[in-house]
Each structure stands twice: as structure tokens, then as C-alpha cells.
Amino acid sequence: MISPLERARILDAEMRLQRAWLELNLRDLTSAVRESPWWKLRSLKLGALGMALFRNRSLLVAALSLLLNLYRRNKEKT
């Protein structure tokens, strides 16, 4: 039978392992984000809508096609 003190030590060691694993994963994720080209776009201060367009490719494609259609329509009128 495991005494309450031993059980507390085991739980404490397990919590430390989980915390170390989470810190390593967080460190890996933050380094991956900083290496990403999207990280450099934050300095442009595009705002929430601009960042949403750059993060989601489908929204970016939709915005570009909208701009192209507006340009074509304007070009046809002149």
C-alpha cells in the first residue's frame, strides 16, 4: 500500500514532468512562430481584418479576387 506522503511525492513529480513538457512545447511553438514569415507582418499594424486576411488563405484569395473584379469593372467603364 502506498502511503499518502509517497503518493503526494509521485503526484508532485508527475506535475513537474507535465510542466517541463508544456514549457518545452511552448518554447518550440514560440520559436516556430518567430521563424514564420507571418511574425514579421505584425509590425505592419494591419489591424484585425488585415491579419485575418493574411492568416486565412481563402479570405486572402477572396479579397484579391474582389479587388481584381473591381479593377476590371472600373477599367471597362473607361
Q: Could you read off the pLDDT of 9-55 as tens digits, one per residue? A: 999 999 999 999 998 888 887 877 677 666 666 665 556 666 666 66
In our burial notation (b when 16+ CB lie closer than 10 A, e otherwise), range 43-70 reads: eeeeeeeeeebbeeeeeeeebeeeeeee
pTM here is: 0.43
> 29 to each of 25, 26, 37, 72, how far by Cα in Å?
6, 5, 14, 42
Q: What is the pLDDT of residue 44?
A: 59
Contact 41, 54 (CB under 8 A): yes
* Structural domain spans, the chain: 1-35, 43-78
Taking each helix axis from N to C terminus, what angle separates 57-77 and 47-55, rounded to the nearest 10 degrees? Answer: 110
